[in-house]
Amino acid sequence: MTRLAIIGGTGLTELDGLEITHREVVSSPYGEPSGPVIHGRLFGTDVIFMARHGHGHTIPPHEVNYRANLWALRKVGVEQVLAVAAVGGIRADMQPGGVAIPDQIVDYTWGREHTFFEGELDAVTHIDFTEPYCPTLRARLLAAADAAGVEVARGGVYAATQGPRLETAAEINRLEREGCDMVGMTGMPEAALARELGLSYACCAVIANFAAGRGDQDIHADIEAHLSAALERARALMAELLKN
């Protein structure tokens, strides 16, 4: 069976119900991953888990060692990665508490270690990133959402911002004009690095809040009020995904 890993983001530093079989400390040529690779069983299926921000949620988005995390996952035999990532909703149907399966990315991050293909190389490599997410894994996520009765936004453009600060209202207006539907801080370079390693990678975006300037309450209050409902939906989707 294909080995699936779940990378958990904000609100998902642990997978409730995961029966942990062992924790594996993997060091990489790119430095230390966010934590050990966790091996276990969830909903009756073998799964691997990595907490993107560390187990105590202490690593901010711009300091996550994305290269080490993905390298470590591949080292232990992972072939598919489901990235769970909190986002702010920009498009009108991206309502807090909901879930989206994005199909495109615009990368606004800077200064992050964003490629394995640098330094002493045998050849220059340009990965094809036309479709940044694996269409097969995306289709499985959508089918799992349908089977679980979880309504999801079936596509959308993920804007990856640098953080750790949230955006200004004007920045969100600009992202919307540039075609973005949701905004988060961890989608890149994670997706591109996964592609460079030949991993099948897709994202389950949990909509925690209205993006800056779009809601009528403070963003942190919004996140407090809605993140857990969005994560519950993501969990129902994952349960279905792991059954199949």
208 binds ligand HPA (CB under 6 A): yes
37-76 positions binding ligand HPA, by CB under 6 A? none
Q: Which residue has the tokens 């403070």?
A: 218
The reply on whether position 13 binds ligand HPA by CB under 6 A is no
Q: Write each residue from 126 to 165 as x if it is in contact with ligand HPA (CB under 6 A), else as -, in one continuous string.
A: -----------------------------------x----
Contact status: 167 vs ligand HPA (CB under 6 A): yes
Q: What is the x/- site pattern for ligand HPA, positions 70-89, by CB under 6 A?
A: ----------------xxx-
Q: Which segment (21-29, 149-157, 173-181, 208-216) binds ligand HPA by CB under 6 A?
A: 208-216
Where is the binding site, in residues?
A: 10, 52-53, 185-186, 209-211
Summarize as ranges the residues that interact with ligand HPA (CB under 6 A).
86-88, 161, 166-167, 183-185, 208-209, 211
